[in-house]
């Protein structure tokens, strides 16, 4: 199946700094990618839909100015957590779709810890 | 997309079949049933999907009732590596967007 790669797998940053997470589709083009956040012992929560060449669509309650999404090419979407705080510590996962009734492909996730 | 309900947790003995149920009584005619699983601290992994016929692949079998209001994911010979949270999702394929929304899922523990 198709491969979605996230980088980094884990990151520790200081409070107030910004962190960028990359999501790449390695063997297919993804016009749409999705970003999820997962807190311990909870399910994945969709944050936003990233569309190549246009602005991302954010789910209700997700701060677009805090979670900056850029989808500059058909194989790369980035999520930047700006001015990170300890409550932003979470597991962030990206996903990409192939058009049609096909499965979604997920990255391996990025564990963000803000200290 | 239709809502699904799954038991929060299940146990299964190693080597036995694991049968994970999912109710989706409000499913529409053009909605597919998908199953994913998430092993601890990893991204979700696709398992199988179907529309109305039963499906089988190298990982599992999917049994969908004739009225399509429920389905069962079957792992024929569960191993310890199958311990994970299993998500049943129903959704329709749209051309403009196609979100995958996760519910709480079923936490499957395979016991030695």
Which residues of A are less than 8 Å from B89 in CB distance? Answer: none
Neighbours of A110 (CB within 10 A): 23
Residue burial A53-89, b: 16+ Cβ < 10 Å; e: rest: eeebbbbeebeeeebbbebeeebbbbbebeebeeebb
Which chain B residue has the Cα nearest residue A39? B41
Higher-confidence residue: A103 or B74? Answer: B74
| pLDDT at residue B96 in the model | 46
Of the candidates A4, A34, A100, the beta carbon closest to that of B99 is on: A34
User: Is B49 within 8 Å of A1 when comparing Cβ atoms?
Assistant: no
Q: Do B46 and A93 touch (CB under 8 A)?
A: no
Residue B74's DSSP bridge partners are: B19, B61
Question: Which whole number is the average pLDDT over A6-20?
Answer: 97
Rounded Cα distance, B99 and B14, in Å: 34
Query: A interface mutation test: which of B39, B47, B100 has the most A CBs within 10 A?
Result: B100
Binary contact (A46, B42; C-beta < 8 A)? no
**C-alpha to C-alpha distance for B41 and A3, rounded to whole angstroms:** 18
Q: What's the Cα-to-Cα distance from A49 to each of A31, A56, A95, B13, rounded to whole Å?
A: 10, 6, 9, 39
Q: For B15-72, how does the pLDDT look when each residue is reduced to its tens digit (9 = 90+)?
A: 999 999 999 999 988 888 999 999 998 999 999 999 999 999 999 999 999 999 999 9
> Could A100 and B93 be called an inter-chain contact, meaning their C-beta atoms sit closer than 8 Å?
yes
> What would the two tokens of residue A67 be?
């979670």
**What does the mean pLDDT of chain A come to?**
92
DSSP A100: T
How many A×B Cβ pairs under 8 Å? 59
Considering only CB atoms, A49 lies closest to which of B36, B44, B99, namely B99
User: Mind spelling out the 3-state secondary structure of A76-89?
Assistant: EEEEEECCCCHHHC
* Residue numbers in A near B41 (CB within 8 A): 91, 109, 111
Q: Tell me if B37 sits within 8 A of B47, measured CB to CB.
A: yes
Q: What is the pLDDT of residue B75?
A: 98
The predicted model gives A21-28 an average pLDDT of 92
**Rounded Cα gap, residues B78 and B101, in angstroms:** 26
Residue A28 has what pLDDT? 83
The model's pLDDT over B73-109, given as tens digits with 9 standing for 90+, comes to 999 999 999 999 999 998 876 654 677 889 999 999 9
């Amino acid at each position: 199946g198709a491969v979605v790669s996230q980088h980094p797998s884990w990151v520790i940053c200081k409070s107030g700094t910004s962190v960028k997470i990359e999501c790449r589709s390695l063997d297919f083009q993804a016009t749409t990618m999705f970003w999820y956040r997962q807190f311990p012992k909870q399910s994945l929560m969709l944050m936003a839909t990233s569309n190549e060449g246009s602005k991302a669509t954010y789910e209700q309650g997700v701060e677009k100015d805090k979670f900056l999404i850029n989808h500059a090419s058909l194989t790369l979407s980035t999520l930047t957590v700006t001015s990170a705080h300890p409550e932003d510590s979470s597991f962030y996962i990206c996903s990409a779709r192939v058009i049609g009734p096909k499965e979604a492909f997920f990255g391996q996730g990025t564990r963000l810890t803000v200290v | 997309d239709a809502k699904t309900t799954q038991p929060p947790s299940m146990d299964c003995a190693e080597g036995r079949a694991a049968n994970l149920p999912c109710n989706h009584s409000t499913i529409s005619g053009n909605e597919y049933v998908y199953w994913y699983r998430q092993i601890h601290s990893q991204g979700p992994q696709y398992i199988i999907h179907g529309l109305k016929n039963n499906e089988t692949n190298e990982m599992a079998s999917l049994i969908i009732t004739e009225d399509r209001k429920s389905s069962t994911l079957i792992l024929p010979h569960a191993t310890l590596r199958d311990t994970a949270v299993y998500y049943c999702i129903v959704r329709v394929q749209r051309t403009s967007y196609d979100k995958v929304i996760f519910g709480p899922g079923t936490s499957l523990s395979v016991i030695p």
